[in-house]
Amino acid sequence: MPPSTTDAPAAGRQPAIVILDFGSQYSELIARRVRETEVFSLVMAYTTSAEELRALAPRGIIFSGGPSSVYEEGAPLCDPELWDLGIPILGVCYGMQLMVQQLGGSVIAAGRAEYGKAPLYVDDPTDLLTNVDDGSTMWMSHGDSVQALPPGFVRLAHTENTPEAAVANHDRRLYGVQFHPEVVHSSCGMALIRNFVYHICGCIPDWTTATFIDEAIADVRAQVGDKRVLLALSGGVDSSTLAFLLHQAIGDQLTCMFIDQGFMRKGEPEFLVDFFDKRFHINVEYIHARERFISQLAGISDPEEKRKIIGAEFIRVFEAESKRLGPFDYLAQGTLYPDVIESAGTGIDPKTGERVAVKIKSHHNVGGLPKDLQFKLVEPLRRLFKDEVRKVGRNLGLPEEIVGRHPFPGPGLAIRILGEVDNDKLDILRDADLIVREEVRNAGLYHDIWQAFAVLLPVRSVGVMGDKRTYAYPIVLRCVSSEDGMTADWSRLPYDLLELISNRIVNEVRGVNRVVYDITSKPPGTIEWE
């Protein structure tokens, strides 16, 4: 079977648990849940061979769910030799059905599909289901069911509609569950995952923030040696954490470049340079480029065109300034693990886990850097999820104002001004946005909200101030709650807080006479307006 590895481990730490991805939307979530037990996990393609897994020697393997039916032609199948590796395997949903089908059982279309929450009735409260409460809620999402179990398998649990909701072959340490223990809706899901990781696989909880930092620093020093490293610093959580980590590893060999394109929030460029350069003595080259960027957007109103123009200008500025400040041997990037999974097969050597060609990550979604820069990449965060990056940042000493800050788009306020962008509109939006963030923070709600910001619309409406007619811009408040930004719901802010924000904006921000609140979820809307 040809190797088609979704991700391969870099030199150093090997995964204790491997998740084989069969196309589930929850594969990354399974990896995150395993890591919450302080055990290192990686997602790999379902086509990973038994030989590759034998070389990795994980303590356990988890088969993800997926949208296919195992009895259909062309359904994704694993290497059949996996079943004879002697490594414990947990099949989740499709993974369980695949286990049953390949080992001699049968799977058919269910007479009644099962989606959403369902009580789980435990028939065998030992082993995989230790401490899983009888009648606990589990999240179902399947239209197929097991008709007959393979030889040696027994039932562990059932639901009202699914006789074989959890099964096992205890002698071979093979387990399957028809539900999704990794989602938050499964009340005892983490108990089941701990049982598999700790008791069945015998894993040791050694994937901690402190151990990651020690390993990452050692890896960076070994890779870089005495060479110089350049980092494009945006002030976001990822690049800020990376700056602190690299500075701890290589000190003055690191140069950070901050390009002020004029679309940051009020006071942020000055704050970032003062924070990194003066407070923590991390070398930051401040590139003043506001007029270059704003001049390129004259007459442009289409949001995608704005993004492309900003991205292209960023490339030009970065290229010129890197040559002026260089030479540099390495470019540091805040690539995270979801980025690695998403780009699977396009630049990962399945044997080494290293990039086979220089592929520069888009700078905060505003465009990639040219390949002819010929940097070698330093990506010490590429095995982390976003929540793990925040933990690393806190451990390294980043203050909460950096680590806990809300996401901010790369094109910045340029895509929070609908239509054409100019300096006057930027000033209006900066003032309004600052009020939104100040009052949400003063109310103690900042960390309960995924994002809270202002949007400026390219229309005007009639108002009255001081007995005089006004004709001014409206400001849209956009406050959403989310876990990962993939879906979001509008935040139910207290009326008193909304009133305070509205009053401050119309009284303190010139050119604004109306404030409205966006109560659209994602989907159907998006978090950003452009």
- Looking at per-residue confidence, does 361 or 226 come out higher? 226
Which is nearest to 7 in space by CA: 348, 334, 335, 389? Answer: 348
Name, in order, each residue with C-beta under 8 angstroms of 352's C-beta and a sequence gap of 6 or more.
8, 10, 11
Most confident of the ranges 8-17, 111-120, 245-254, 273-282:
245-254
Determine whether 406 is an active site residue: no
What is the side-by-side order of every strand in the sheet holding 284-288?
Answer: 284-288, 254-260, 229-232, 330-332, 376-378
**Average pLDDT, integer, range 58-67:** 94
List the beta bridge partners of residue 139: 117
Total residues belonging to the chain? 530
Which is nearest to 413 in space by CA: 529, 314, 257, 491? Answer: 529
Position 369 scores a pLDDT of 53
Confidence grade of residue 366 (pLDDT, cut at 50, 70, 90): very low
Residue 142 pLDDT > 80 = no
**Average pLDDT, integer, range 201-229:** 95
Specify the range with the lowest mean pLDDT, choosing from 224-233, 332-341, 438-447: 332-341
Confidence grade of residue 183 (pLDDT, cut at 50, 70, 90): confident
**Average pLDDT, integer, range 254-266:** 94
- Looking at per-residue confidence, does 339 or 505 come out higher? 505
**Average pLDDT, integer, range 290-311:** 93
For strands 468-481 and 489-490, give the pairing: antiparallel
- The Cα 19–Cα 44 span in angstroms is 6
Determine whether 201 is an active site residue: no
Residue 111 pLDDT > 80 = no
Name, in order, each residue with C-beta under 8 angstroms of 19's C-beta and a sequence gap of 6 or more.
27, 30, 31, 34, 41, 42, 43, 44, 61, 62, 63, 64
Can you spell out the DSSP letters for 396-450?
HT--HHHHTPPP--TTGGGGTB-S---HHHHHHHHHHHHHHHHHHHHTT-GGG-S
Confidence grade of residue 407 (pLDDT, cut at 50, 70, 90): confident
Residue 364 pLDDT > 50 = no
CB-CB neighbours of 90 under 10 Å? 29
Position 143 scores a pLDDT of 78
- Looking at per-residue confidence, does 62 or 406 come out higher? 62
Report in angstroms the alpha-carbon separations of 426 from 268, 272, 304, 457, 511: 14, 19, 18, 12, 12
The residue annotated as part of the active site, out of 28, 114, 164, 182, is: 182
- The Cα 33–Cα 31 span in angstroms is 5
Read off the pLDDT of residues 413-456 as tens digits, 9 standing for 90 and up: 999 999 999 999 999 999 999 999 999 999 999 999 999 999 99
Residue 48 pLDDT > 50 = yes
The residue annotated as part of the active site, out of 93, 188, 256, 479, is: 93
Centroid of chain to Cα 215: 22
The residue annotated as part of the active site, out of 142, 180, 247, 364, is: 180
**Average pLDDT, integer, range 392-405:** 90
pTM of the prediction?
A: 0.78
**Helix residue spans in 80-137 (DSSP H):** 94-102
- The Cα 225–Cα 221 span in angstroms is 5
Position 192 scores a pLDDT of 97
% of the chain exceeding 90 in pLDDT: 67
Q: Where are the beta strands (DSSP E) in 159-282?
A: 166-169, 174-177, 229-232, 254-260
Position 114 scores a pLDDT of 67
Q: Helix axis angle, 237-250 relative to 209-224, nearest 10°?
A: 60
> In this structure, which long-range contacts are made by residues 310-315, counting pairs with CB atoms below 8 Å and at least 24 apart in sequence?
310/261, 310/263, 310/366, 310/367, 310/410, 310/411, 310/414, 311/362, 311/363, 311/366, 311/367, 311/368, 312/367, 313/261, 313/289, 314/259, 314/261, 314/363, 314/366, 314/367, 315/367, 315/368, 315/369, 315/370
**Average pLDDT, integer, range 31-47:** 93
pLDDT, averaged across the chain: 88
